[in-house]
């Protein structure tokens, strides 16, 4: 058997008035996903336990087959794993967003999708002025960067994802709890470091959003995750432009495949991801393809961009993978958004998401298109998201449906 998982990040949504009450999934032209759904097993899955935040770190850990209530320690250490930053037992990794602020609220949690080269220069300046024996800054990809704390203080304050508070006064969303003064202090001091940096002078002159503050969140220590080969068997490969996904893949022993032109945004090279995914099928038991674009479009409240991203994923990634079944008749495909992201609020939301399992060994035929409403019409519900992987890999062969 060969297995492929495709995650269109944040693709699931709520009905949109502008779309006559349809969701972006319902409005998008996606013949390949719809065919897989009609000819496969369609259902719903709860990828995020109610007590955890509905972010990609938790949701995708579930889809990979790991219970986030057992394994999730924070987003920062997962990204550190991809960046080659090895944390000592006492070290805490924070996600460090470069953001745009007007002084009282977050205007843009991506700082206008600051380029990776610009981010490297800004993170270097932060390291020079704010770093030291206890604080180290690491450049990642675009606005997604890292800060590691090596001191003796307990920095277990509750932090907030910046994409959840865009446009709101951030005073009420600053870290609170043990160590909050240290975390907030670094965020506040970053304003002076970044305000007149050459990168931001150039960005302002071009009419681009300046990266004029950092936002620290998602902290944690490195989780101890059982290798996928021991837990489920077989080899795996991950394709993603996002450090978070690649980091989790490394922690469970998967190969990470870098795709030229993959950006983690709506301008990513969808076709290249499709080609690399098909190639990976020949050398790995399981290929895991993550596409960030629908989520980014939803965060920006751009309905058309979200629909466009869904259509590109269908045409350039799902289509070629399904066509590869001619070469690999033992191929089975799982398509599942990691979580709901509302284009209305721009935020992630708790709730079930639709999934479809299609291909070798799947006896179910839903006869329904791949939509939130279509999935809700079935009686297939996986209440614990981390159980979906095991059922995808094995239970469907006998015709047993998740319930």
Q: Which domains does the chain have, with CATH numbers?
A: 2-72+224-398 (3.40.720.10), 87-220 (no CATH)
- Residue 396 pLDDT level (bands cut at 50, 70, 90): very low
The beta strand positions in 89-223, using DSSP E, are 92-101, 106-108, 135-141, 144-149, 213-220
Do residues 330 and 281 lie in contact, with contact meaning Cβ atoms separated by under 8 Å? no
Q: Closest Cα partner for 399 from 384, 380, 383?
A: 380
Question: What integer pLDDT is reported at residue 155 of this predicted model?
Answer: 94
Do residues 54 and 388 lie in contact, with contact meaning Cβ atoms separated by under 8 Å? no
The whole-number average pLDDT for the span 343-347 is 94
Contact partners, residue 256, CB within 8 Å, separation at least 6: 82, 237, 238, 240, 246, 249, 250
- Residue 95 pLDDT level (bands cut at 50, 70, 90): very high
* Long-range CB contacts (within 8 A, 24+) of 391-398: 392/3, 392/5, 392/332, 392/334, 392/357, 393/1, 393/3, 393/232, 393/286, 396/41, 396/332, 396/357, 396/361, 396/362, 396/363, 396/364, 397/361
Q: Hey, how many other C-beta atoms are within 10 angstroms of the C-beta on 70? A: 11
Paired sense of beta strands 41-45 and 381-382, if any: parallel
Q: Please, which residues bridge with residue 340 across strands?
A: 11, 349
Do residues 368 and 43 lie in contact, with contact meaning Cβ atoms separated by under 8 Å? no
- Residue 403 pLDDT level (bands cut at 50, 70, 90): very low
Question: What integer pLDDT is reported at residue 394 of this predicted model?
Answer: 84
pLDDT, tens digit, 9 for 90 and up, residues 242-261:
999 999 999 999 999 999 99
Question: What integer pLDDT is reported at residue 397 of this predicted model?
Answer: 37
Q: Is the pLDDT of residue 297 over 80?
A: yes
Question: What integer pLDDT is reported at residue 47 of this predicted model?
Answer: 98
Q: Is the pLDDT of residue 399 over 50?
A: no
Paired sense of beta strands 41-45 and 353-359, if any: antiparallel
- Residue 90 pLDDT level (bands cut at 50, 70, 90): confident
Q: Closest Cα partner for 141 from 96, 177, 85?
A: 96
Question: What integer pLDDT is reported at residue 371 of this predicted model?
Answer: 98
Question: What integer pLDDT is reported at residue 256 of this predicted model?
Answer: 98
Q: Is the pLDDT of residue 398 over 70?
A: no
- Residue 25 pLDDT level (bands cut at 50, 70, 90): very high
């Amino acid at each position: 058997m060969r297995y492929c998982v495709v995650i269109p990040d944040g693709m699931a949504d709520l009905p949109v008035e502008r779309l006559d009450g349809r969701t972006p999934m319902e409005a998008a032209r996606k013949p390949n996903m719809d065919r897989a759904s009609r000819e496969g097993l369609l259902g719903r899955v709860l990828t995020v336990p109610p007590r955890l935040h509905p972010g990609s770190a938790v949701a995708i850990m579930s889809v990979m087959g790991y219970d986030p209530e057992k394994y999730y320690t924070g987003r920062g250490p997962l990204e550190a794993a991809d960046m080659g930053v090895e944390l000592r037992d006492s070290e805490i990794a924070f996600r460090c967003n470069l953001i745009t602020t007007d002084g009282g609220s977050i205007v843009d949690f991506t700082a206008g999708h600051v380029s990776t080269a610009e981010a490297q220069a800004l993170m270097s300046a932060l390291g020079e002025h704010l770093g030291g024996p206890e604080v180290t800054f690491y450049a990642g990809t675009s606005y997604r960067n890292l800060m590691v704390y090596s001191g003796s203080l307990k920095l277990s304050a509750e932090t907030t994802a910046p994409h959840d508070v865009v446009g709101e006064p951030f005073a009420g969303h600053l870290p609170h709890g043990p160590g909050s003064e240290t975390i907030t202090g670094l965020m506040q001091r970053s304003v002076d470091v970044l305000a007149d940096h050459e990168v931001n002078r150039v960005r302002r002159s071009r009419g681009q959003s300046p990266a004029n503050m950092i936002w620290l969140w998602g902290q944690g220590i490195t989780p101890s995750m059982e290798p996928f080969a021991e837990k489920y068997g077989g080899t795996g490969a991950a394709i993603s432009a996002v450090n978070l996904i690649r980091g989790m893949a490394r922690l469970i022993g998967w190969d990470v495949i870098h795709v030229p032109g993959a950006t983690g945004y709506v301008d990513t090279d969808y076709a290249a991801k499709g080609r690399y995914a098909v190639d990976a099928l020949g050398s790995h038991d399981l290929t895991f393809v993550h596409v960030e674009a629908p989520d980014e479009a939803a965060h920006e409240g751009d309905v058309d961009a979200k629909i466009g991203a869904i259509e590109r994923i269908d045409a350039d990634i799902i289509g070629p993978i399904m066509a590869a079944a001619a070469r690999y008749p033992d191929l089975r495909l799982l398509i599942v958004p990691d979580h709901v992201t509302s284009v209305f609020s721009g935020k992630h939301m708790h709730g079930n998401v639709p999934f479809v399992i299609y291909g070798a060994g799947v006896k179910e035929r839903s006869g329904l298109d791949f939509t939130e409403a279509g999935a809700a019409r079935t009686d297939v519900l996986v209440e614990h998201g981390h159980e979906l992987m095991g059922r995808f890999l094995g239970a469907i062969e006998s015709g047993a449906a998740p319930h």
